[in-house]
Amino acid sequence: MELQLNRMDYLQVGVTSQKTMKLLPTSGRRATQKVVIGDQDGIVTCFGIKKSEAVPVFKTLPGQKISRLELGGALGTVQEKVFVAAGSEVRGFTKRGKQFLSFETNLTESIKAMHISGSDLFLCASYIYNHYCDCKDQHYYLSGDKISDVICLPVEKLERITPILACQDRVLRALQGSELLYEVEVPGAPSVLTLNDGNGGESGEEILYGTSDGKIGLIQITKNLPVPKWEIFNEKKRGGVLCIDNFDILGDGVKDLLIGRDDGSVEVYGYDSANEPVLCFEHALTESITSIQGGCVGKDGYDEIVLATYSGWVTGLTTEPVYKEAGPGEDIKISQEMQNKIASLRSELEQLQFKVLQERERYQQSSQSSTAVSAVPVFSVNDKFTLNRDDASYSLILEVQMAIDNVLIQSDVPVDLLDVDKNSAIVSFSICDTETNGNFLLATYRCQANTTWMELKLRSIEGQYGTLQAYITPRIQPKACQIRQYQIKPLSLHQRTHVIDESRYTTKIKDIKLCCF
């Protein structure tokens, strides 16, 4: 079935983290839903769409950066309560915005991952997992590597609590209480987990996972051992998976697989007769997709895929026809509603342009006075430095909430920069004086207008270690720059393995002859 979706931009909030946007459930199958989203300014925003305009339901005051947002409620009831994790605190809100919970955990660092099932709260910091029941500490586990995400098999279906941790050492860890039940090796570092079909499938034990190198898989977590179902390898070299959801966007009665990646790719997979995923639709945005949900937001009766991007845009890919093609000699008639919206947007744009001119003049006047204090602008940078095992290279992904002006790359260890098809920036190299300042590489990437996301690839020399630095300068006034450092280690092209293939390192000696002299 061919799927056609049209893009609609609804609202922009602050910079968002992974898995911080949800759609509130409704009683009707195709009734419009409210969107709730949390940003790194600590603000929780809930809104709906009425006559193509975003109508706010509630909005909280700024606070600590929101790292996760989940929906919860009593088991067997509608999951419409909003829970957010900010710092080491978990707050709960009703669908109308009234706060009913403020739980300060005993974690010494910020919460990185969260899952809620009834009165059970599962939280993870970098290496620590905690299980709370009615805000009372129940279980604790210290992971061997960083935890990316956590989920729990449906308690109401299995009548047992089985949390699953996604860890950076390419392992899913199934827990029982405070003990490790078993480990499951996956083909990449898992970055996100979700229940298959929203409820774990027919058995209630099926987990979907996405990896940081772009692979997707389905695995069944039984009491005794894992049962792999299928895997999708990243043959097109797309970005890492940041979010997964299940929703019947094709309208065939079977929930489809929705995927959002860190390079802006959106994918929809249907299922064939053998229950194997088949790619049905793909769309590309210019920034990473931090959250993805299927539902009905823009208009009654039209399903859509709702996306949250890194810079805070809430965007819908809807089945509603947005435009009409005119035949020969036929004029396209724009509805009065659309004309009013266009006029409103033009008026808003003129007001914003006038306000920008006023603020720019005010800043220039204040900077010329003797008592002027120059403020350094603050901006957020999202970066990822990962090893690509297929071609033995490193991928450096940089994303800024505003347009990037230029990026300077400096390294005190020999590295080679490789060509990237997605990168449209112009690169220039500077001569390095290795003996004087120890630089082996100085390269400048000048970005085109409105570039907020870019990828660099480089290859290091095994055994030589040092530091790679990126100086990121966005298009803002006054000029400001952020420096990010990345360690290139001695065994830079090595990757951890969980099973040693002895046939690669040993040879069988069939005949041994002793010779006497």
Calculate the average pLDDT of the chain.
Answer: 88
User: Residue 258 is encoded by which pair of tokens?
Assistant: 């929705």
| Total domains, the chain | 2
Domain check: are 256 and 402 in the same one? no
DSSP per residue, 456-489: EEEEE-TT--EEEEEEEEES-SS---EEEEEEE-
Cβ count near 441 (within 10 Å): 20
Domain check: are 22 and 159 in the same one? yes
Residue ending a domain, among 302, 318, 334, is 318
Q: Do you know the residue count of the chain?
A: 517
Query: Quick one: pLDDT band at residue 515, thresholds 50, 70, 90?
Result: very low
Domain check: are 82 and 201 in the same one? yes
Domain check: are 91 and 162 in the same one? yes
Distance CA 110, CA 102 (A): 15
- Of 314 and 517, the structure prediction assigns the larger pLDDT to 314
Domain check: are 185 and 95 in the same one? yes
Do the domain assignments include residue 425? Answer: yes
Tens-digit pLDDT profile for residues 66-94? 999 999 998 888 999 999 999 999 999 99
Do the domain assignments include residue 349? Answer: no
CATH number at residue 452: 2.60.40
Domain check: are 39 and 188 in the same one? yes
Residue ending a domain, among 284, 318, 352, is 318
Distance CA 214, CA 237 (A): 7
Tens-digit pLDDT profile for residues 337-352? 777 778 888 888 899 8
Domain check: are 388 and 301 in the same one? no
Residue 280 CB-density burial (10 A; 0-12 exposed, 13-18 middle, 19+ buried):
middle
The pLDDT value recorded for residue 330 is 53
Does residue 139 carry a pLDDT above 90?
Answer: yes
Tens-digit pLDDT profile for residues 220-265? 999 989 999 999 998 888 989 999 999 999 888 899 999 999 999 9
Domain check: are 449 and 307 in the same one? no
Distance CA 27, CA 89 (A): 31
Q: Which residues contact 307 (CB under 8 A, 6 or more apart)?
A: 260, 266, 285, 289, 291, 292, 313, 314, 315, 316, 317
Does residue 471 carry a pLDDT above 90?
Answer: yes
Domain check: are 205 and 312 in the same one? yes
CATH number at residue 166: 2.130.10.10
Do the domain assignments include residue 144? Answer: yes
Do the domain assignments include residue 78? Answer: yes
Please give the share of the chain, as a percent, with pLDDT higher than 90: 59
For 62, what's the count of Cα atoms within 13 Å in the CB-facing half-sphere? 5
Distance CA 326, CA 78 (A): 45
The pLDDT value recorded for residue 1 is 56
Which amino acid appears at position 97 of this protein? G
Do the domain assignments include residue 476? Answer: yes
Tens-digit pLDDT profile for residues 287-301? 999 999 999 998 888
Query: Quick one: pLDDT band at residue 502, thresholds 50, 70, 90?
Result: low
Domain check: are 464 and 385 in the same one? yes
Do the domain assignments include residue 12? Answer: yes
The pLDDT value recorded for residue 424 is 84
Query: Quick one: pLDDT band at residue 509, thresholds 50, 70, 90?
Result: very low
Q: Which residues contact 314 (CB under 8 A, 6 or more apart)?
A: 9, 10, 11, 12, 13, 21, 35, 37, 306, 307, 308
Domain check: are 302 and 389 in the same one? no
pTM comes to 0.88
Do the domain assignments include residue 186? Answer: yes
Does residue 12 carry a pLDDT above 70?
Answer: yes
Residue where the block lists tokens 């000699």: 329
Distance CA 489, CA 33 (A): 49
Tens-digit pLDDT profile for residues 411-449? 999 999 998 888 888 999 998 888 778 889 999 999 988
- Of 359 and 69, the structure prediction assigns the larger pLDDT to 69
Structural domain of residue 455, as residue ranges? 381-488
Does residue 137 carry a pLDDT above 50?
Answer: yes
Tens-digit pLDDT profile for residues 94-117? 999 999 999 999 888 999 999 999
User: Residue 458 is encoded by which pair of tokens?
Assistant: 């480089």
- Of 53 and 257, the structure prediction assigns the larger pLDDT to 257
Distance CA 368, CA 346 (A): 34
Do the domain assignments include residue 13? Answer: yes
Domain check: are 395 and 470 in the same one? yes
